[in-house]
């Protein structure tokens, strides 16, 4: 989201990133190649992507907090594959927000 309902952005702290690069092992590559022949989910790759996204998010939140932020808006993910590696980049805008008082 680009805003947070019920909160007011009091300070924009800038663009932040959380990046991780992961490599698959040769066993996963062989298993994946066999799975593509018969179809279906390649669980080892699914788990790799979940783990990578979580790591990227942890780094993103850490960068936000280190800048004094308590919220991230306009969060996005970018994934790039090269060779047997995958780069996952989470990025967004670090902000400091305050709860809006209801009248």
Which run of H or E residues covers position 36?
helix 26-38
User: To 5 degrees, how large is the angle CA 19–CA 24–CA 30?
Assistant: 155
Name which residue leads in pLDDT, 91 or 84.
91
Query: Out of 21-25, 59-63, 75-79, 92-96, which region has the weakest mean confidence (pLDDT)?
Result: 21-25
| Measured distance between the N- and C-terminal CA atoms of the chain, rounded to whole angstroms | 24
Q: How many CB atoms lie within 10 A of CB 26?
A: 8
Closest CA relative to residue 17, chosen from 74, 81, 100, 83: 74
3-class DSSP assignment, residue 4: coil
- Report the candidate in 28, 22, 82, 78 with the shortest Cα–Cα distance to residue 55: 22
Task: For the chain, list the domains and their CATH numbers.
Answer: 7-99 (3.30.110.70)
Does this model's pTM top 0.75?
yes
Three-state DSSP class for 101?
coil
Give residue 35's pLDDT band: very low, low, confident or very high (50, 70, 90).
low
Overall size of the chain counted in residues:
103
Q: How far from chain centre, in Å, is Cα 20? A: 9
Predicted local distance difference test score (pLDDT) of residue 49: 87
């Amino acid at each position: 989201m680009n805003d947070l309902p019920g909160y007011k952005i009091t300070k924009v702290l800038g663009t932040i990133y959380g990046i991780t690069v992961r490599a698959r092992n040769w066993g996963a590559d062989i298993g994946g190649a066999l799975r593509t022949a018969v179809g279906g989910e390649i669980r080892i790759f699914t788990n790799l992507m979940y783990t990578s996204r979580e790591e990227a998010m942890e780094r993103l939140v850490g960068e936000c907090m280190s800048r004094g932020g308590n919220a991230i808006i306009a969060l996005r993910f970018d994934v790039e594959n090269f060779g047997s590696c995958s780069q996952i980049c989470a990025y967004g805008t670090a902000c400091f927000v305050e709860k809006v008082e209801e009248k």
